[in-house]
Amino acid sequence: MGVVSYDFEVSSPISPARLFKALVLEALMQSRALSSKEMVPLEPSPSIPVREAQDKDNLSYSYSLIEGGPLGDKLEKISYENKFEAGADGGSVCKSLMKFYTVGDCTFTEEEIKEQIQRMDRVYKAIEAYLLTNPDVCN
């Protein structure tokens, strides 16, 4: 098994506390936002996430996908470490570290990493769009 790590950031006009609440504390928010008619399904099969840590005071959390979804034949799991910080424009920046744990001697390419980041970006943007159109949610 090998491990490939990748850092990325996503900016949003939504405040860090509100975005953290929507994504982490009210995880059902994801299904509401992602099931809107504007969104296409993100995964052909359901994923099984395991929350590993959550820190409300520091607006951070970590979890791993251990089955289904984007894992396919190459990945044993994907671990995510996320922290929401204030953005320069009054919004937020989500700083993420993704760790891809490969099966056996499989390799995970830069293109495959970019696909996973696009998948994560679609989730954030869907939640962001939902919160922007529903200003009273998660305040």
| Edge-to-edge strand ranges of the sheet holding 92-102 | 3-12, 92-102, 75-86, 60-68, 47-55
* DSSP state string for 49-116: EEEEEEETTTTEEEEEEEEEGGGTTTEEEEEEEEEEEE-TTSSEEEEEEEEEEESTT----HHHHHHH
**Helix, strand, coil in percent for the chain, rounding step 5:** 30, 35, 30
Domains and CATH numbers, the chain: 3-133 (3.30.530.20)
pTM for this entry? 0.78
85-127 per-position pLDDT tens digit: 999 888 999 999 999 998 988 888 889 888 888 887 888 888 8
41-86 per-position pLDDT tens digit: 444 445 666 677 889 999 998 888 887 777 778 888 889 899 999 9
